[in-house]
């Protein structure tokens, strides 16, 4: 088991690092509804400063869509892999590769919403990904998971179920944060740098594995069990503090 110690102080110039960040539970505290999260001006400023110091080698790797990430952090625009890598914007002002919503997933969302939607369970439709949030009704997580797993047998091949900290998601097999990290690492300004990834949930584990393979630094926030991450931090404030200490004032190459 990894993740038994706090992450180190980085000892390379800023221009030798590539930074990948999950959003919810890593940079932002979770809320009872995904739209209720709060982004402070201080956090926007910190990320903008880090992005400049790294010469652009900063990207969100998130389950949020690119459009939602932009809305949350407006006016800041960063490179983003959204929907666990099913959407990409490889440059801040570049085009967004958008994932379509299959009709069978939309129908499943309708069915689950009809059963659970009135019980403080939020059904989030994210193109080919269906997320069932039970943070406001944790007693319904088991039922939501059962419904999604039951539906999996009725869907075409190529889907999987991911159980998270406060919900369950149905997503295509190709939705993988590790693949998104690898893709960014093949292009400037990420290529040739040492990668760092901070995340907090089960879907981030695939990203940690990719980072470890590349000889980078993998950090899980608030782990609830075994993790592939090499290091751990206790909470969101600790994660932001570590970013400030290591990237906000890190030496420019």
3-state SS class at 127? coil
- Residue 37 reports pLDDT greater than 60: yes
- pLDDT confidence band for 249 (50 / 70 / 90): low
CATH number for the domain spanning 113: value is 3.30.70
pLDDT for res 167: 87
Q: Is the domain of 33 the same as that of 76?
A: yes
Last-in-domain residue among 153, 172, 191? 172
Q: Is the domain of 62 the same as that of 112?
A: no
What's the farthest any 2 CA atoms get from each other in the chain? 56
Rounded to two decimals, what is the model's pTM? 0.81
DSSP secondary structure string, 178-239?
HHHHHHHTTSTTTTTSEEEEEE-SGGGHHHHHHHHHTT-EEEEES--S--S-SEEESSHHHH
DSSP secondary structure string, 140-151?
GHHHHHHHHHHH
The model's pLDDT over 90-125, given as tens digits with 9 standing for 90+, comes to: 999 999 988 776 778 888 888 888 888 777 888 888
Last-in-domain residue among 139, 172, 205? 172
The model's pLDDT over 168-218, given as tens digits with 9 standing for 90+, comes to: 988 888 888 999 999 999 999 999 999 999 999 888 999 999 999 999 999
Q: Is the domain of 204 the same as that of 93?
A: yes
- Residue 60 reports pLDDT greater than 60: yes
Q: Is the domain of 93 the same as that of 184?
A: yes
Residue 33 maps to a domain:
yes
Contacts 24+ apart (CB under 8 A), 186-189: 187/90, 189/18, 189/54, 189/55, 189/56, 189/57
- Quote the number of domains for the chain: 2
Residues 13-28 have a mean pLDDT of 94
Residues 67-92 have a mean pLDDT of 95
- Is residue 73 within 8 A of residue 54, CB to CB? The reply is no
| C-alpha torsion sign, points 68, 140, 201, 209 | negative
Of 22, 70, 200, 204, the catalytic one is 22
Q: Is the domain of 182 the same as that of 151?
A: no
Q: Is the domain of 244 the same as that of 181?
A: yes
pLDDT for res 67: 94
CATH number for the domain spanning 186: value is 3.40.50.1000
Q: What angle do CA 213, 219, 222 make, to 5 degrees?
A: 140
Residue 5 maps to a domain:
no
The model's pLDDT over 120-177, given as tens digits with 9 standing for 90+, comes to: 888 888 888 888 999 888 898 999 999 889 888 878 778 889 888 788 988 888 888 9
Q: Is the domain of 29 the same as that of 87?
A: yes
- pLDDT confidence band for 252 (50 / 70 / 90): very low
Range of the domain at 111: 103-172
Gap between the Cα atoms of 16 and 193, Å rounded: 5
Gap between the Cα atoms of 17 and 244, Å rounded: 14
- pLDDT confidence band for 3 (50 / 70 / 90): low
Q: Is the domain of 36 the same as that of 48?
A: yes
Q: What angle do CA 238, 239, 244 make, to 5 degrees?
A: 95
Residue 233 maps to a domain:
yes
Half-sphere exposure of 42 (CA within 13 A, CB side): 8
Q: Does the active-site annotation cover 22?
A: yes
- Tell me the CA end-to-end span of the chain in Å, nearest whole number: 35
Last-in-domain residue among 125, 144, 172? 172
Residues 36-57 have a mean pLDDT of 95
Q: Is the domain of 37 the same as that of 57?
A: yes
Structure tokens at 109: 């969302």
Residues 4-16 have a mean pLDDT of 83
Q: Is the domain of 37 the same as that of 111?
A: no
DSSP strands (E only) in the chain: 17-21, 58-61, 79-82, 87-89, 122-126, 129-133, 159-163, 167-172, 194-199, 217-221, 231-233
Bond into 75 cis (ω within 30) = yes
């Amino acid at each position: 088991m990894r993740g038994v110690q706090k992450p180190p102080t980085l000892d390379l110039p800023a221009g030798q690092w590539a930074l990948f960040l999950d959003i919810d539970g890593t940079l932002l505290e979770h809320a009872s509804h995904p739209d209720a999260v709060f982004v402070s001006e201080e956090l926007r400023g910190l990320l903008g400063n880090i992005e400049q110091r790294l010469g652009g080698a900063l990207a969100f790797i998130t389950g949020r869509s690119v459009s939602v990430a932009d809305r949350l952090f407006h006016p800041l625009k960063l490179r983003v892999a959204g929907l666990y890598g099913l959407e990409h914007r490889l440059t801040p002002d570049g085009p967004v590769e958008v994932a379509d919503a299959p009709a069978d997933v939309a129908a499943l969302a309708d069915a689950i919403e009809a059963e659970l939607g009135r019980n403080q369970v939020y059904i989030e439709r994210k193109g080919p990904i269906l997320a069932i949030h039970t943070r406001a009704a944790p007693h319904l997580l088991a039922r939501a998971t059962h419904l999604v797993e039951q539906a999996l047998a009725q869907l075409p091949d190529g889907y999987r179920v991911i159980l998270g900290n406060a919900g369950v998601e149905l997503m295509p097999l190709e939705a993988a944060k590790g693949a998104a990290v690898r893709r960014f690492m093949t292009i400037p300004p990420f290529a040739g740098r040492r990668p760092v990834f901070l995340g907090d949930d089960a879907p981030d584990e695939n990203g940690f594995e990719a980072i470890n393979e590349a000889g980078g630094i993998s950090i899980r926030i608030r782990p609830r069990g075994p993790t592939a991450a090499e290091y751990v931090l206790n909470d969101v404030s600790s994660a932001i503090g570590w970013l400030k200490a290591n990237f906000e004032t890190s030496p420019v190459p």
